[in-house]
Amino acid sequence: MNTQAIRYHQYGPPDVMTLEAIAQLPLEPGQVRVSLRAAGVAPLDAKLRAGLLQAQLALTLPKVPGRDGAGVIVESRAEGLPVGEPVCVMADMFGQGSYADSIVVPAARVVRQPSTLSTRQAAALLQPGASAWIPIVRTAQVRSGMKVLVHAGSGAVGSLMIQLAVHLGAEVWATCSSANRDDVLALGATGVIAYDKEDFSALRGVDVVFDLVGGETHDRSYPVLKPGGQLVWLVASPIRERGQEFKVRVARAMIDDAPECLRAVAKLAEERVWVPTVGQCFPLVEAARAHALLESGKAARGRIVLDIP
């Protein structure tokens, strides 16, 4: 049996990815085979494909990209995960990815699909959710009464950060383009600063800034923090450490995909605390177009999703 999958045999532009038939992997004890219906397209997927992270993350080529996927279990050798169960999967970065019509994953990388989500939303949940949950809950320990600023609030991660911080009782401010202002306000933000028309650096008294951008945005975030505040960054680049100068703490949130994190992310969706934002959708065969849109910077909002036939 073969699997239809997007693969690239060399690093390069989006068009190095093609749809191919690849051999299905055998199922080992503790694993499930999932028939995928949708896959999330993350910025990391594009950076890996372009070869920008070869020094840090050495992939084995050819590579099927993608971490996030949603589908139905069609074969199981894992206790508590029966055939027919709708699930979300988080593929191993160094194994077969989710841009495929089926995938084999260990039980630790699978959670039941929240009943509150569509298949597309489920495919946009785990990686953005982990990237939002860890900074908010573990790193900054956001709680009621805090004032926080979320940069890139209309993105897949930023939109989940806003929803979770609001749920925890924080006063949430966010930056985004003016075109996405109403959408971000609808997530529960107290205020939105449109970076193409307004200057967020006039904000003051912020307890925590979540920086998903870096560069000038990172530099201009220091003055908005109160003394003793915290600037939390994920993959923002470049970073100029100025914590001592402004008497604030600077911390990098280290994102992982541990089972307890994935379960927490899914539980928040099941409890309707947050809903992933789905942006443009493409058929699997057009993965190169999805990457080109992502790299153009013109993706409107949320997570790009691939529909899998």
Q: Where are the beta strands (DSSP E) in 163-255?
A: 171-176, 191-194, 206-211, 225-233, 249-252
Q: What is the pLDDT of residue 237?
A: 67
Q: What is the pLDDT of residue 240?
A: 77
**Domain spans of the chain, in order of start:** 2-125+276-307, 128-252
Q: What is the pLDDT of residue 61?
A: 97
Asked if residue 249 lies in contact with residue 243, where contact means CB atoms within 8 angstroms, the answer is yes
Domain 2-125+276-307 grouped into CATH 3.90.180.10: yes
Average model confidence (pLDDT) for the chain? 95
pLDDT, tens digit, 9 for 90 and up, residues 248-268: 999 999 999 999 999 999 999
Q: Measured at the alpha carbon of residue 269, what is the angle toward residues 268 and 275, in degrees to the nearest 5?
A: 120
Q: What is the pLDDT of residue 177?
A: 93
pLDDT, tens digit, 9 for 90 and up, residues 191-242: 999 988 898 988 999 999 999 988 888 889 999 999 999 999 987 666 777 7
**267, two tokens:** 């539980």
CATH number of 128-252: 3.40.50.720
The stretch 74-95 carries a mean pLDDT of 97
Q: What is the pLDDT of residue 297?
A: 85
Percentage above 90 pLDDT, the chain: 87
Question: Residue 303 contacts by C-beta under 8 Å, 6 or more apart in sequence?
Answer: 40, 41, 42, 68, 123, 124, 128, 156, 276, 277, 278, 279
